[in-house]
Amino acid sequence: MKNILVTGGSGFIGSNFIRFLLSESSFNGRVVNVDKLTYAGNQENLTGLEEEFPGRYAFEKKDICDKENMRTIFEKYDFDAVCHFAAESHVDRSIVDPDAFIMTNIIGTYMLLEEVRRKKDTRPVHFHHVSTDEVYGSLGENGFFTETTPYRPNSPYSASKASSDHLVRAYGKTYGLSVTTSNCSNNYGPYQFPEKLIPLIIENALCENPLPVYGDGKNIRDWLYVTDHCRAVWMIMQHGKRGGMYNIGGQCEKENIEVVKTICDRLDDMRPLASGKSRQELITFVKDRPGHDRRYAIDFTKLKNELGWTPKESFDTGIEKTIKWYLDHKDWVERVKSGEYRSWIKQQYGD
């Protein structure tokens, strides 16, 4: 694969993926990043790549739902593969206003698949679809999601991702397109927008603001450092079975309250409060999210056995790197929180 279209490359995981790919010895081609630059997309996440990798990175500010623009992009660049990250990704927003989720996550995926279908006989393009473990719904106290777990999405976000997963599968089966899908657990790391749990708590704890924990704080997520996710996606794109679906997880189940307390303790060590107080005192239990999934946990045996992937980062090392990154990039946080994000928060919660 020499010429790859990455959609949503200006977001959290997409930007980490592009950096990862351009630095990989197994890839010496070009990446074209197509991103609409919503509130969650920032060109700043990819600053310096054109200079660092001359001729190997291009950016197109485009909406994947725009059929004509997608046609032009596919004609302009001679892609070997698509790695599809572009999505509306925040569950809380999908509950308040599902519209953009239906458009981008479902219609946008369909538009891309149609372009790949159109090229099928003249220029076969591999399509990798980046999805989530949330399509499986919620687990009880025991068990893990496997690739054969039935889909039971509970939020408009996860329902829109489930829908796009089905479209990808159907285009593979019906039209014989070369497709792969990965369903990954919760990611954390640099460049994550500070509305998701980990960067939000880091930011609030630094500013000595309340740390909102939904419900009883005992919901469980399986945390994965973003670079481990990127490495898995690249392995699947290259070596995954065509038509295959692969679960990716961190083997790292944690209750939300444990994650929040860990961040408080790390920050107290790195940046003690002048008052000498513990940041855990900032923890505030708030009203639960409607339809809040209780537990996610991934069984990634298939990916391990077929492709030899396992996560390299532990939660201890990953959270340390992440906190340090946010400490060193306070200006980035300020910038991404201005503008559209601030007006959304104001609209929902007032000043």
Write out the catalytic residue numbers: 133-134, 157
Nearest to 222 by CA among 180, 183, 274: 183
**67-76 and 109-119 are packed helices; what angle lies between their axes, rounded to 10 degrees?**
40
* Alpha helices (runs of H) in the chain, residue ranges in sequence order: 12-23, 49-52, 67-76, 91-96, 99-100, 109-119, 156-175, 197-206, 226-239, 256-270, 301-307, 315-328, 330-337, 340-349
Whose Cβ is closer to ligand TYD: residue 33's or residue 251's? 251
From the CB of 77, what's the least distance to ligand TYD, in Å?
32
Binding site partner of 12, from ligand TYD, ligand NAD, none, Cβ cut-off 5-8 A by kind: ligand NAD
Report how far residue 113's alpha carbon sits from residue 107's, in angstroms, rounded to the nearest whole number.
10
Rounded to a whole number of angstroms, the minimum distance from the CB of residue 242 to ligand TYD is 29
- Strand-pair category, 187-188 with 211-214: unpaired
Query: Which does residue 65 bind out of ligand TYD, ligand NAD, none, counting CB within 5 to 8 angstroms by kind?
Result: ligand NAD
What are the Cα distances from residue 345, in Å, to 63, 194, 294?
24, 12, 25
Binding site partner of 13, from ligand NAD, ligand TYD, none, Cβ cut-off 5-8 A by kind: ligand NAD
Which one, 196 or 231, has the nearer CB to ligand TYD? Answer: 196
Query: Which residue lies nearer to ligand TYD by CB, 13 or 31?
Result: 13
Is the CB of 27 or the CB of 157 nearer to ligand TYD? Answer: 157
Q: 130 or 167, CB closer to ligand NAD?
A: 130
Among the residues of 120-155, which ranges form H helices? Answer: none
> Which residue's beta carbon is nearest to the bound ligand NAD?
11
Residues sharing a CB contact under 8 Å with residue 182, sequence separation 6 or more, in sequence order: 128, 129, 130, 131, 232, 233, 236, 245, 246, 247, 248
* Shortest Å distance, C-beta 116 to ligand TYD: 27
Q: State the binding partner of 256 from ligand TYD, ligand NAD, none, CB within 5 to 8 A by kind.
A: ligand TYD
Full DSSP string of 19-73: HHHHH-TT--SEEEEEE---TT--GGGGTTHHHHSTTSEEEEE--TT-HHHHHHH
User: How far apart are the C-alpha atoms of 289 and 91, rounded to whole Å?
Assistant: 9
CB of 206 to ligand NAD, least distance (A): 21
Provide, rounded to whole angstroms, the least separation between the CB of residue 221 and ligand TYD.
5
Which partner in ligand NAD, ligand TYD, none is near 10 (CB below 5 to 8 A by kind)?
A: ligand NAD
Residue 85 interacting partner from ligand TYD, ligand NAD, none (CB closer than 5 to 8 Å by kind): ligand NAD
Q: Residues in the site for ligand NAD, rule: CB under 6 A?
A: 7-8, 10-14, 35-38, 40-41, 63-65, 85-89, 104, 108, 130, 132, 161, 184, 186-187, 193
Give Cα separations from 305 to 186, 273, 302 (angstroms).
Answer: 22, 47, 5
Quote the tokens at residue 45. 């996440």
Q: How far is the CB of 213 from ligand TYD (least distance, A)?
A: 5
For ligand TYD, give the closer residue by CB, 16 or 256: 256
The residues of the shown chain that bind ligand TYD, judged by CB under 6 A, are 91, 186, 196-197, 200, 212-214, 219, 221, 256, 289
